[in-house]
Amino acid sequence: MRYTVLGTGIVGRTMAAKLASLGHEVVVGTRDPEATLARVEPDAYGNPPFPQWRVANSQVGLEAFADAAAWGEVMVNTTSGAATLQALEAAGAANLAGKVLIDIANPLDFSQGMPPSLNPVNTDSLGEQVQRAFPEVKVVKTLNTMNCQVMVEPSRVVGEHSVFVSGDDTDAKKAVTELLVSFGWAEASVIDLGDITTARGTEMLLPIWLRLWGALGHADFNFHIAGARTGA
């Protein structure tokens, strides 16, 4: 399968490396490939510059958002939540149309400082905004409720734990669930919450996730919904 990972941050890199390790063809999308390849400073989170990661992952391509989106069969959105709609505009509605878009972004709003708040929140979500802006895309919100290392290596967290999927297209959610299983998730750990409006709930887990991170002092933890299989 040809996967386009939109985003060059730690989440995009982690997803791209995992997909490539599973034998998929992968291209990462960015605003300006030349500028991205010229980076020498760590990013805002202290991660090494993208070119350093690329040395160890040379099988992964790097293209401008539009070229990357046109090439891929499945899209993975790992852009900054505040810039997701802009990034997808740059990717181009025609290039995205008819494709599954796995949306991992969270609408964190750092404008009032730390900890970030959410925008949108409560009565809307980023997942819904993306689906409204790109009605021909099959948006599946998932994996946004955990650290990116856990997304692709669930065994980092001891014991059972859960991953949520939200989206309007049943077949798209089924395909994404199969991908999650290929990452190492037990199928029973995948909880289909329903349509894309349910992304409000998973995006609103971020404030508690951030506080748990602070309290526990590490990111190898996740939510576990006890009793989730009872009604299945």
| Interface with ligand NAP (CB under 6 A) | 7-12, 30-31, 36, 45, 78-81, 83, 86-87, 104-106, 108, 144, 147-148
- Of the pair 27, 148, the CB lying nearest ligand NAP is at 148
Question: What's the min distance (Å) between Cβ of 230 and ligand NAP?
Answer: 28
Q: Which residue has the tokens 């160890």?
A: 56
- Of the pair 100, 163, the CB lying nearest ligand NAP is at 163
Question: Is there a contact between 53 and 13 (Cβ–Cβ < 8 Å)?
Answer: yes
Q: Which of 164, 114, 171 is nearest to 138 (CA)?
A: 171
Distance CA 175, CA 13 (A): 21
- Of the pair 150, 232, the CB lying nearest ligand NAP is at 150
Question: Is there a contact between 25 and 57 (Cβ–Cβ < 8 Å)?
Answer: no
Question: What's the min distance (Å) between Cβ of 6 and ligand NAP?
Answer: 7
Q: Which segments of 123-217 are extended strands (E)?
A: 138-142, 163-167, 190-194
Question: What's the min distance (Å) between Cβ of 11 and ligand NAP?
Answer: 3
- Of the pair 78, 166, the CB lying nearest ligand NAP is at 78
The answer for residues whose C-beta is within 8 angstroms of residue 92's C-beta and 6 or more apart is 65, 66, 69, 70
Question: What's the min distance (Å) between Cβ of 31 and ligand NAP?
Answer: 3
- Of the pair 170, 208, the CB lying nearest ligand NAP is at 208
Q: Which residue of the chain is nearest ligand NAP when measured via CB?
A: 9
Question: What's the min distance (Å) between Cβ of 214 and ligand NAP?
Answer: 15
Burial (Cβ within 10 Å: 0-12, 13-18, ≥19) of residue 185? buried
CB atoms within 10 A of CB 42: 11
Question: What's the min distance (Å) between Cβ of 164 and ligand NAP?
Answer: 12
- Of the pair 87, 172, the CB lying nearest ligand NAP is at 87
Distance CA 162, CA 1 (A): 26
